Amino acid sequence: MNEKLFSILDSYYDDMVALRRHLHQNPELSFEEKETPALIEAFYKELGIEVKTGVGGNGVTAVIKGGKPGKTVALRADFDALPIQDEKDVPYKSTIPNKMHACGHDGHTSTLLHLAKALHTIKDELHGTFVMIHQHAEEYAPGGAIEMIEAGCLEGVDAVFGTHLWATEETGKIQYRTGPFMAAADRFEINIQGAGGHGAQPHKTKDALLAGSQLVTSLQQVVARRVNPVESAVVTVASFIAENAFNVIADSAKLIGTARTFAPEVRDLVEKEIGRVTEGTCLSADCTYEYNYFRGYPAVVNHAKETDYLVKQAAQIPGVTIEESEMQMGGEDFAYYLEHRPGTFFFTGAKPEGVDNPYPHHHPKFDINEKAMLIAAKTLGSAAINYHEEA
């Protein structure tokens, strides 16, 4: 059955590319998606596939029922874009200023739609039921996954699989990992209030910029001296805002950053320690402060059985190489699906042809090798149609 599915998918490749490029030219930001879910709905309706819109907000689900009894497998693709100006010189460049598919979600969407079309074509020969989850708002917490789950997109589902086209890895490479794979992604904000004044009279001020500078350095102790070295964690201060006149001592300063962890206890520790270090630093500078910690997506933790199964399926696809991935500090709200159902999330290499140093995800010149969509569709498809054989 794999060979038949693969042959059908190969015949869809040109359409897959055309749809991906249409989506690339017409990106929509998280929680603002209107035309994209409408396009997805129309695609399914034209095929006569059961489709539901407005799932948890802007999400879309479609259900394909095989002609034989079996398990229910969910496959997920996200479809939101980013607030980035597209700087590529290609015919399918974004037509909307400051909005761009800079992470491959356009490719995810076209991949899943054409896989669904292929499954529908051979549905009478297949075991089980296939749920296509088209998710909005992956890029911006709290994300669309948790809303779609609360709306029932996983009801009756036995397993869930998802992939991310990964432009920095060779096309044809499948990267997997059992257990913790992608990190919990949190955000923190620290507002420091001092007493500003003239740059020539520092003794009459409480320098918020100096306190903030000391805090940036002190926060490095959280990972270096508070987290067990065998655990993984990152604390990054990514934004530092204060007065900018050359002769003014800052009255206030604002620090914004991210914390990335895997273990829940390390996540708790990092949140607590950032607050403790902030308190001590501001006390020594005689400044007050406000500290807010916002929890984003939890860590993506892949299930062992489903990950092993996925690797076996991928190994049967011509031209695919398989590699165990290191843990990644990027975040993904696919984590929520894995908290509710067994499954796995993996990377599909999508490095553009002839490019030694591809632009990374979220870069204004980001692009993918569109042939990776076929690899992703075949991998997800083989995992879906053969899962009924699992005990």
Give the mean model confidence (pLDDT) for residues 373-377.
Answer: 98
pLDDT in tens, 286-343: 999 999 999 999 999 999 999 999 999 999 999 999 999 999 999 999 999 999 999 9
pLDDT in tens, 156-202: 999 999 999 999 999 999 999 999 999 999 999 999 999 999 999 99
323 a known binding residue? no
Confidence check: pLDDT of 255 > 60: yes
Any known ligand binding at 103?
yes
Angstrom distance (rounded) from CA 48 to CA 370: 27
Task: Count Cα neighbours of 124 within 13 Å in the Cβ-side half-sphere.
Answer: 1
Residue type (1 letter), 260: R
> In Å, how far are 49, 122, 310 from 126, measured between CA atoms?
15, 7, 18
Residues 260 and 335 grouped into a single domain: no
Residues 128 and 237 in one domain: no
Final residue of a domain: which of 268, 294, 320? Answer: 294
| Mean pLDDT taken over the chain | 97
Task: Please tell me whether residues 255 and 365 are part of one structural domain.
Answer: no
Per cent of the chain over pLDDT 70 is 100
Q: How many CB atoms lie within 10 A of CB 48?
A: 8
Looking at residue 1, its pLDDT comes to 85
- How far apart (Å, rounded) are the C-alpha atoms in residues 19 and 219? 46
233 and 304 housed in the same domain: no
Q: How far apart are CA 181 and CA 291, in angstroms?
A: 29
361 is in an annotated binding site: no
Are residue 14 and residue 107 in the same domain, yes or no?
Answer: yes
Q: Where residue 219 sits, what CATH number does that domain have? A: 3.30.70.360
Residues 237 and 153 in one domain: no
- Coil, strand or helix: which one is 59? strand
> Which of the following is catalytic: 28, 80, 86, 147?
80
The pTM of the full predicted model, rounded to 2 decimals, is 0.94
Residues 132 and 192 in one domain: no
- Please compute the mean of the pLDDT values over residues 199-216 and round it to a whole number: 97
Q: Is 153 annotated as a binding residue?
A: no
Structure tokens that stand for 85 in this block: 């100006």
Query: Do you know the residue count of the chain?
Result: 391
Examine the domain organization and report whether 29 and 145 are in the same domain. yes
Mark whether 390 is an active-site residue.
no
Q: Whole domain around residue 92: which residue ranges?
A: 2-182+299-389
- Provide the pLDDT for residue 372: 98
pLDDT band for position 391 (cuts 50, 70, 90): low
CA angle 208, 211, 217 (to 5 degrees): 145
The gap from C-alpha 143 to its chain's centroid, in whole angstroms, comes to 9
CA distance 315 to 321: 7
Predicted pLDDT of residue 253: 98
Are 53 and 160 part of one and the same domain?
Answer: yes
Q: State yes or no: 287 annotated in a binding site.
A: no
Of 138, 169, 306, 370, the catalytic one is 138
Which CATH number belongs to the domain containing residue 136 in this structure? 3.40.630.10
* Residue 83 CB coordination number (10 Å): 13
Q: Has 80 been annotated as catalytic?
A: yes
Say if residue 91 is in the same domain as residue 116: yes
Q: Which of 244, 264, 294 is the last residue of a domain?
A: 294
Q: Are residues 150 and 23 in the same domain?
A: yes
Domain boundary among 232, 259, 294: 294
Count how many domains the chain has. Answer: 2
Q: State whether 150 and 118 are in the same domain.
A: yes
